[in-house]
Each structure stands twice: as C-alpha cells, then as structure tokens.
Amino acid sequence: MAVEGSTGRVTRRRVHTRANLLEAAFSVFAAKGFGHVSIEEVCEAAGYSRGAFYSNFSSLDELFFALYRERADLIAEQVSGALALDGYFHAVE
C-alpha cells in the first residue's frame, strides 16, 4: 500500500479499512463475479465511502489484484504447512 499518513507510517485504522474493503470485495466478487461489481457495491458492502476506497486503491482492478495476492499468499502458506507436516509424519514412520 503506497498511501501513508503525514508521519510517514500507515495507521492501524487505514490497515483496518483496507482489510475490510478486501473482505467485502471477496464476498461481492464471489456473489456477482468481478465483471459485474462496481466500486460503490464494494464500498456499500464494507460500510465505507468512495473516499475510503480511493485512499486505499486507485481502481477496482488494483483492489482485485491486492485480493488475489492476499488469497494466493494464504493458499501458499497452507500448502507449505501441509507439506511440512507431511514431511514430519514421513520422518516419524
């Protein structure tokens, strides 16, 4: 996230807002499909204004790719953990 406050740091509130927008976008995209969703729908689902959206993302595409990266990282962590666990059980056998 490139947007920073005047102190040169990202506030907890901004991190929370961004996380809520991403969570709402995931739900709205899942229900309607990316091509059928507007910024207003994501904002409404998250309970934020367009200003809050644009202070975190420059476009719906940017939000989509941030959501994609977040979910891909989560899946990679889960797979890595499962492989590590599987390796542990094979070593015990």
Is the full-model pTM beyond 0.85?
A: no
Q: How far apart are CA 42 and CA 50, in angstroms?
A: 9
Instruction: Give the pLDDT score at 4.
Output: 45
- Tell me the residue type at 21: L
30-89 pLDDT, tens digit each: 999 999 999 999 999 999 999 999 999 999 999 999 999 999 999 999 999 888 877 666
The domain segmentation of the chain, as residue ranges, is 12-92
Rounded to a whole number of angstroms, the distance between the first and last alpha carbons of the chain is 45
If you average pLDDT over residues 26-32, what whole number do you get?
96
Q: Which CATH architecture has domain 12-92?
A: Orthogonal Bundle (1.10)
